[in-house]
Chain A
């Protein structure tokens, strides 16, 4: 059996199991907690939580191995079609969720990004995994890899912001007791944007550089280019409204959710709009 598929499927099974067990653990813990108990805001991981994080790390390593094996067998960075990019995107979400979860001592971040990552992997598995030869425009392996790798990091961190923003929107009424503190979630969302936004800028800059070399113009108002710009503008809007206008809470969370919707729109745009990026 293809070693790439072994790594990929093992990673997928591990992440699904990890996410399921973590959700059950958290639900059980929340049910056992008194409503005035502030332990939901604990800043240290329990032993069980540490194990779930280690399993996530192992899953990320397996996915990375699958990507590397594919890169070796294809002879170029594995970023040239939707199958390859979906796996990379999933890896980006997984890794970002793990890092933000660990640094902020909040397992809910890892749980939610594991779910998102697993969904992306299931989508990837529905696509053809055939290795296609590169058309002339894609034969610039370094820039191609750098451009798409930046997108993996940017989209991965934006996914963290999205998941915590969704959680913070639900942070009211009785559900509030099951979720981390809204202010803490909102801070994590902000941190995810200050990592993701520079990388999103790098995506656009490297993409423009590549377009200038391959297509003769650094900006063509191609649908995918324009959708990336829309994504960038929304996150720029978020930063300005949060920092200067002091927006917090629901308004900010909605803006981040809107921004991530633009990420998904950009990601799947190839299916809807034909343009220079239609490398399917």
Chain B
């Protein structure tokens, strides 16, 4: 009993209405309230209200339990609704369903009755033609003295609503497929001359040959172009450019041009002058001190076990601490404790802890989005299905026609007619047009009889 009630709720449109309203309100909150992972800023700014909003998950609405659970419930609702309404496809049967009772054609007051004159052969022929004008291929049968007509049109559109709702379930399948079997790295950064591995077990690496940004005369960006080599198991397989709107595709992996920034070129040698390493280090993060925002990079020094942060001159004003030809370097021990701070001056070697560092100058890095989304094709297919289903439901709706020509006397007949439309989409209007056509038949038939 409880299970039956639960099923009834899960497939009800009322539930869909409630869930959609929740999603609308949550989405509005997501628009009006800044969405961020750095919620502490808002706790400090808004105080108790900030904590309350954070508790409700409103700073990250679209990943909040409320939003995810509501969305999943909606999909479950659609699933139950789709299954329960698929029984209505019995409407597709194009059979004579007349049971002898003229009330059959009343259709709750929506049927029509037209008086016609003529012989039965003449009227039958004319009716078939008129129904054909409205694209009903009428099947004719007899019931006692009456002649029955049954026709359907846009038969496939009976599946329209089913297709629309099933496509939403397919959309969910596509999303889950991408989440479980795909990957997406939103900050795949490669400095000029360097090679970075995509990871995720792909065996694919990317080497950035060059990055170039060009601008229109008014200073707005015109093009960001990265020229890259794709390596598969360390073999060069492809050399190509990547620009915005023209991602590079390789083995289902897509590389999108996303952003760019400064990098710093450093050499590391031993005290005897033997070059140990040359690195072009992307300064992809930033550190703010007062009003200055400085590009920074943090990396491990594999040779020495130390880690270091390198900091470039501020990008938003004249930096009094680090000039354009300098690079700030902070060193940390194995425990992350700061041990020293030095400034590297361009082309001047500096010895630190038995290693010699030389800053050669600035370069650039290119930021890509590297992703593999096996679910995307499912998502686009669901979109196509959804649109097709909508077109079927709204523009080519399924209709079923029942008519009975009943003899009144030798020359007079009464035509009972009704149209069945799924969810009554426009059936009444079409019936009116058919009746108008039939009434013209009555005027003509008097002349021809």
Hey, which bits of chain A sit against chain B, CB under 8 A?
132-133, 135-137, 139-140, 194-195, 197-198, 201-202, 205, 208-209, 212-218, 221, 223, 226-227, 229-230, 233-234, 236-237, 240-241, 243-245, 269, 273
Contact = CB atoms under 8 A, between A and B. Distances in A.
A273 B254 contact: no
Nearest to B369: A216
A237 B387 contact: no
B28 A213 contact: no
A202 B24 contact: no
A233 B28 CA distance: 12
A10 to B, nearest CB: 30
16 contacts: A136-B221, A139-B223, A139-B244, A209-B380, A212-B376, A213-B256, A214-B256, A215-B258, A216-B186, A216-B258, A217-B371, A218-B376, A236-B20, A240-B13, A241-B17, A273-B31
A229 B24 CA distance: 8
Given A137-B244, A212-B376, A217 B184 contact: yes
Interface string B26-67: 011011000100000000000000000000000000100000
A214 B257 CA distance: 8
B394 A198 contact: yes
Contacts of A240: 13, 16-17, 20
Interface residues of B, number: 46
Nearest to A139: B245
B394 to A, nearest CB: 4
B24 A233 contact: yes
- Per DSSP, are chain A's interface residues mostly helix, strand or loop, or mixed? helix
Given A216-B186, A234-B24, 20 more contacts: A133-B222, A135-B220, A135-B222, A136-B221, A136-B224, A136-B243, A136-B245, A140-B245, A194-B394, A198-B394, A202-B387, A205-B387, A227-B27, A227-B31, A230-B24, A233-B23, A233-B24, A240-B20, A241-B13, A243-B424
B380 A216 contact: no
B27 A201 contact: no
Contact of B379 (A135, A197, A216, A218): A218
- Which 4 residue pairs across A and B have the least CB separation, nearest first? A216-B369, A136-B244, A216-B256, A133-B216
Given A223-B31, A237-B17, A216 B254 contact: yes
With most chain B CB atoms within 10 A of its CB, the pick from A136, A227, A273 is A136
